């Protein structure tokens, strides 16, 4: 298979020109923050989504990853994937799809797992924040 070359190109491109690096305001009610770590190596990924509450569409996304090149490339790629998707669609993203797109070798699979976990964690945070702040869901409503 002639995938060695494209593996390097895709990973290196996302690693050298990572998309959507940065920070969103975690106190914003429309922002969900996911923070996950890989026990195997200690790498850490933070991924934040800004969600349109009317449509549940992710309108902005930022990440910061303290980790290896594959983890940075995986998070960069996943931010491109989730932008414009609904929360439910974003939850369906599998690390195997990320690993396949970037042609990660088996020892680097856990790096793409970080990206999947980070999305799930960000969606969970967003949903729990909105539940807490919805007064109409209270018993007195
Ligand atoms: Fe850097 Fe995983 S800790 S490669
Ligand atoms: Fe651990 Fe890449 S995230 S080696």
Domain assignment present for residue 41? The answer is yes
Name the burial class of residue 3, with classes exposed (0-12), middle (13-18) and buried (19+) by CB atoms within 10 angstroms of its CB.
exposed
Pocket of ligand 1 (CB under 6 A): 41-43, 67-68
Residues 58-75: pLDDT tens digits? 999 999 999 999 999 999
Nearest to 84 by CA among 118, 112, 50: 50
In terms of pLDDT, which residue wins out, 3 or 125?
A: 125
136 found inside a domain: no
Considering every ligand atom shown, identify the ligand nearest to the alpha carbon of residue 44 and give its number: 2
Query: Is the ipTM above a cut-off of 0.85?
Result: no
Q: Is residue 86 part of a domain?
A: yes
pLDDT > 90 in the chain, percent: 78
Give the global pTM: 0.86
Q: Answer whether residue 135 is part of any domain.
A: no
Element (H, E) at 98: helix 95-102
134 domain residue, yes or no: no
Phi, psi torsion values for 54, nearest 5 degrees: -75, -40
Q: Residue 98's domain is classified under what CATH number?
A: 3.90.1010.10
Residue 68 lies in a domain: yes
**pLDDT tens digits, residue range 95-121?**
999 999 999 999 999 999 999 999 999
Burial class (CB in 10 A: 0-12, 13-18, 19+), 107: exposed
How many structural domains compose the chain?
1
């Amino acid at each position: 298979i002639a995938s060695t070359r494209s593996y390097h190109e895709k990973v290196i491109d996302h690693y050298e020109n990572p998309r959507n690096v940065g920070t969103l305001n975690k106190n914003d009610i429309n922002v969900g923050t996911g923070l996950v770590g890989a026990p195997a190596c200690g790498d850490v990924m933070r991924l934040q989504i800004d969600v349109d509450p009317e449509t549940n569409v992710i309108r902005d996304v930022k990440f910061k990853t303290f980790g290896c090149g594959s983890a940075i490339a995986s998070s960069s790629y996943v931010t491109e994937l989730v932008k414009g998707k609904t929360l439910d669609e974003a939850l369906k993203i599998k690390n195997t799809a990320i690993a396949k797109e970037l042609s990660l070798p088996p020892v680097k699979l856990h790096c793409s797992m970080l990206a999947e976990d980070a999305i799930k964690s960000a969606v969970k945070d967003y949903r729990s924040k909105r539940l807490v702040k919805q007064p109409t869901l209270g018993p007195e409503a």
